[in-house]
Amino acid sequence: MSVIKEYMSADHRACDESFASMENAVHDENWSEAKKLFESFASDLLYHFDMEEKVMFPAFEARSGSAHCNPTPVMLMEHEQMKKLVQDMRADIDSKNKEHFFGLSETLMMTMQQHNMKEEQMMYPMVDDVMQAENSMLLDEMKNLQRVDS
Amino acid sequence: MFKGLSTDQAPPIGVPFRFFLTAPIFAIFIATIFILYPQEVIFNRYTPIAIATVHLFTLGVLAMIIFGALQQMLPVLAGAVIKKEKLFATIVHINLTFGTLALSSGFLGSSTFLLIIGSTMLSLAFGVFFFTIIRLLFKVKYITSTVNAMKIFSLAGLITAGVGLYLLSSYITYDIGSNHIDIANIHISFALFGFAFILVMGVAFQVIPMFYVGQDFPKYIQNKFPRVVFGMLILFAIFTILGQDATPILNIVEILAIVFATYGLYILENRRRAVFDVTLWYWKLSLASLILSMILLLVDSKISTIAFVVAFGFLYSLLQGMMYKIVPFLSWFHLNSKGHFNIPNLREYIDAYNIKLQFIIYLSSIFCFILATIFNQMFLYMGSGLFIVSNILLMINLATATKTYHEISKLDPMAAFK
């Protein structure tokens, strides 16, 4: 059973959708809508990171115990890269700097997608594998995590 | 226990870049041959000049960019990490570059000695590359449609290279058998549909839905097409060797390619991201050219026209679009990972205007080449001139990003905090 992989991959796609809507609003220079959609996207993205950082990664590390070839530090580093980009994008939306915003959004898009590939191809299958039958429980725990506003 | 993801998973930036920056030089060699030799010699697939030209493209441009990109993409797409990546890249790059030069000069100057050098170096390049990645891919624990497509692509690549080596040995020993053309057809079919088309599918399955936020390719295309194409190629080879007419088998593959490309265009047209991205032009040109070339093949059109549409319309345009995505991203990613904070974003490494200009000149060169296959040599000269300019611009664009990367990477990342 690959419940973690399925749920989290679908959540990636949902974040992509929310990203595209936000970008499209900036493209149309509908700034109030863009701000709203941006905050909604940022909240979805950070919640996804939280599910991984606060629940999934610790559970995985505790179970696998393979510190020397543990993929979580790379995933965490890339989360930090993306959080920084989101902050910079917020500044561009506030100052209505469309051109610079699209430079950053393209950067975030590439970073996000190559990160998603690594997670979907390796990280999630590993977690499903390590957690065995308990992966559904872990997923419930991830879903029940409280959303913290960005 | 778990291999694949680690902090040093990405190869140094110079690994893919040296392959990317070498390819346009080979493209310029091709256009130089177009200017120096008569059109009827170039457009006749059996002449040594045509063989030299085709291999300057398939080895010096196509394999060059694919080999460079795969060393970067394997860790991301398949979690497969090449050990001693710098040494690996150096062996493959040097042998591929000088092997291609020797092979092409061997054909151009009818030199057996150069053909022997070329075949040895190319065997090394292909052998080292494919045996390494096949070993890695078959060790991947979690299989996806992209990993499967890559495995099949690698097998097809090895078969292409093996059959190529056999053909080459007959030139070296002056022993061209009666079935030489049949074997050459097997070599070409595996190169185009196995090596190139299957890889393009594998990459498109991942990249088109992800980077442009579009729908996924249907599951039957993702799971079945690469295998069916490979199966058809094996059947084609068997029928050809047995002396049977195998054209209908290739026709099936051509129709599958049309279905794939039509889907790809459909997904791109209906993508969720409205924002303009110049690499879309390259993808669309590539998929549209794939459809056009397959139709031309099905109606048995002129081989020279098909060759231009396939090589420059379908393949090289896709590779250029891919490099324009990869090079700025890697520059940013490596700088960011080294701790540099105030760095240009992805759109600030290469000026979008220069990419558009390069695209338009490149597209014009393709039109001229196609016209040359219908009308006269004047169009071949015009096309070659435009093609050379577009490749110089491509090199400048890629080198601009590389230069920015090197300038910033020399700075102290902590200086901003001092």
> Do the Cβ atoms of A17 and B206 come within 8 Å?
no
pLDDT at B3: 36
Task: Check CB contact under 8 Å for B142 and A125.
Answer: yes
Asked if B215 is an interface residue toward chain A (Cβ–Cβ < 8 A), one would say no
Query: How much is the pLDDT for B336?
Result: 86
Report for B141-155, B190-204, B206-220: range of highest mean pLDDT: B190-204
Name the pLDDT band for B230 (thresholds 50, 70, 90). Answer: very high
pLDDT at residue B8 is higher than 60: no
| Residue A97 parent element (H or E) | none
Q: Is residue A136 very low, low, confident or very high in pLDDT (cuts 50, 70, 90)?
A: confident
User: How many C-beta neighbours within 10 Å does residue B407 have?
Assistant: 9
pLDDT of residue B4 exceeding 60: no
Judged against a pLDDT cut of 50, whether residue A128 lies above it is answered with yes
B41-B43-B46-B47 Cα dihedral, nearest 10 degrees: 20
Interchain contact, B76 vs A117, CB within 8 Å: yes
Q: Does A135 touch chain B (CB under 8 A)?
A: no
Residue A131: its chain B contacts at CB < 8 A? none
DSSP label of A148: P
Q: Which of B61-65, B270-274, B299-303 has the highest mean pLDDT?
A: B61-65
Of A66, A81, A121, the CB nearest to B78: A121
Helix, strand or coil for residue A78? helix
Residue A44 has what pLDDT? 92
| Token digits of residue B415 | 């200086």
ipTM: 0.85
Contacts of B275 in chain A (CB under 8 A): 23-24, 26-27, 102, 105
CB contacts, 8 Å: B141 with chain A? 125
pLDDT for B284 equals 95
Q: Does A24 touch chain B (CB under 8 A)?
A: yes
Amino acid letter, B223: N
Instruction: Say if the Cβ atoms of B6 and A74 lie within 8 Å.
Output: yes
Judge whether B140 and B185 are in contact, CB under 8 Å. Answer: no
- CB contacts, 8 Å: B10 with chain A: none
In Å, how far is B6's CA from the nearest CA of chain A? Answer: 6
Indicate the pLDDT class of residue B287, thresholds 50, 70 and 90.
Answer: very high
Mean pLDDT, chain B, integer: 89
The dihedral sign for the CA sequence B109, B111, B115, B118: negative
Query: Residue B362 — very low, low, confident or very high, per pLDDT cuts 50/70/90?
Result: very high
What is the structure's pLDDT at A149? 63
Q: Which residue of B1, B2, B355 to mutate against A (max A Cβ within 10 Å)?
A: B2
User: What mean pLDDT comes out for the span B325-334?
Assistant: 90
pLDDT above 90 as % of chain B: 59
The tokens of B392 are what? 């110089």
By CA distance, what is A65's nearest residue in B?
Answer: B1
- The answer for A 52-111 residues in CB contact with B (under 8 A) is 64, 66, 69-71, 73-75, 77, 81, 100, 102-107, 109-111
Residues of B in contact with A24 (CB under 8 A): 272-275
Tell me: pLDDT of B418 over 60.
no
> Domain A3-143 sits in which CATH superfamily?
nmb1532 protein domain like (1.20.120.520)
How many angstroms separate the CA of residue A143 from the nearest CA in chain B? 24
A143-147 long-range contacts (CB < 8 A, ≥24 apart) are A143/A7, A143/A51, A145/A47, A145/A50, A145/A51, A145/A54, A145/A55, A147/A43, A147/A47, A147/A50
Average pLDDT for B351-368: 95
Question: What residues of A are in contact with residue B347 (Cβ under 8 Å)?
Answer: 102-103, 106
Rounded Cα distance between A13 and A116, Å, is 10
The span from the CA of B61 to the CA of B319, in Å, is: 9
- B chain contacts of residue A70, beta-carbon cutoff 8 Å: 2
Whether B7 and A66 lie within 8 Å, measured CB to CB: no
CB contact under 8 A, A16 and B213: yes
Per DSSP, helices labelled H in A51-123 are 57-64, 72-94, 98-118
Cα gap B9→A142, rounded to integer Å: 28
Alpha helices in B242-278 (DSSP H): 247-269
A9 part of contact set with chain B, CB < 8 Å: no
Question: Nearest-CA residue of chain B relative to A127?
Answer: B2
Give yes or no for residue B182 having a pLDDT over 60.
Answer: yes
- The total of other beta-carbon atoms located within 10 Å of residue B62's CB is 22
A73–B7 CB contact, under 8 Å:
yes
Can you spell out the DSSP letters for B378-409? HHHHHHHHHHHHHHHHHHHHHHHHHHHHHHHH
Q: Find, among B363, B411, B406, the residue nearest to B387 by Cα.
A: B363
Contacts with A73 from chain B: Cβ below 8 Å: 7
Q: What is the pLDDT of residues B239-264, one digit of tens each?
A: 999 988 888 999 999 999 999 999 99
How far is residue B198's CA from residue B191's CA, in Å, rounded to a whole number? Answer: 10
Would you kindly state where each structural domain of chain B is located, as residue ranges? 9-142, 297-406
pLDDT recorded at residue B2: 36
Comparing A122-136, B218-232, B251-265, which segment has the lowest mean pLDDT? A122-136
Closest in B5, B78, B206 to A71, CB measured: B5
Q: What is the pLDDT of residue A148?
A: 75
Does the beta-carbon distance from A121 to B329 stay under 8 Å? Answer: no
User: Is residue B227 within 8 Å of B171, Cβ to Cβ?
Assistant: no
- For range B401-405, the mean pLDDT: 91
Domain ranges, ordered by start, for chain A: 3-143
B336 shares contact with chain A (CB less than 8 Å): yes
| pLDDT top residue among B100 and A146 | B100
Residue A150's pLDDT is 52
Q: Which residues of B251-285 are buried (b: 16+ CB within 10 A; e: fewer)?
A: eebbebbbebbebbbebbeebbbebebbbbbbbbb
Length of chain B equals 418
The sign of the dihedral angle between the CA atoms of B82, B406, B344, A73 is positive
Which amino acid is present at B71?
A: Q
Chain B residues touching residue A16 (CB < 8 angstroms): 210, 213, 272
Closest chain A CA to residue B8: A74
pLDDT reading at A66 higher than 70: no
Contact B79 A105 (CB under 8 A): no
pLDDT of residue B416: 60
Tell me the whole-structure pTM to 2 decimals. Answer: 0.91
Nearest to B206 among A23, A100, A117 (CB): A117
Token pair, residue B143, equals 């299989």
